[in-house]
Amino acid sequence: MSKKKRSRGGAIWGLKCPACREGNLFKPVNKFTDLFEMENNCPNCGQRYELEIGFYWGAMYVAYALSSAAALGSTLLFMFVFDFSMMTSFVLMFLLVMLVSPSIFRLARSIWLHAFVNKKE
């Protein structure tokens, strides 16, 4: 019986290789700084993850969009759903965005890489 193929969205959210959708993009996390360490190549299919020098500069724009959406969404949620003051909402939003920053970094790199590498058949 063949294994079910992972979807492109599943590979992006799962931080998997865009070519084979199986290998991990990031190294295992043992300490905080490991959150930002990527593999050089896919451990499964060998796909290079840094296509050219400076490739991930564009991922900063994706990270900016993701963090802006998180900031706006959480601020609106805190102000209009939970009825917190504007200052309390901003403080909570700041703390929330700082807390999810490593995840945003990783997701932005995954989205950026998937935009430029297609699945191998």
CA distance 61 to 52: 17
Q: Residue 35 carries which side chain, given as an amino acid letter? A: L
Of 120, 121, 103, the residue nearest 25 (C-alpha)? 103
What pLDDT is attached to residue 121? 60
Cβ(17)–Cβ(108) under 8 Å? no
Q: How many Cβ atoms sit within 10 Å of the Cβ of residue 66?
A: 19
CA distance 23 to 53: 22
Determine the 3-state secondary structure of 23 from DSSP: coil
Tell me, yes or no, if the pTM score tops 0.95.
Answer: no
> What's the first-to-final CA gap in the chain, in angstroms?
18
- Could you tell me the pLDDT band of residue 2, with boundaries at 50, 70 and 90? very low
Query: What are 35-74's pLDDT values in tens digits?
Result: 899 999 999 899 999 999 999 999 999 999 999 999 999 9
What pLDDT is attached to residue 92? 95
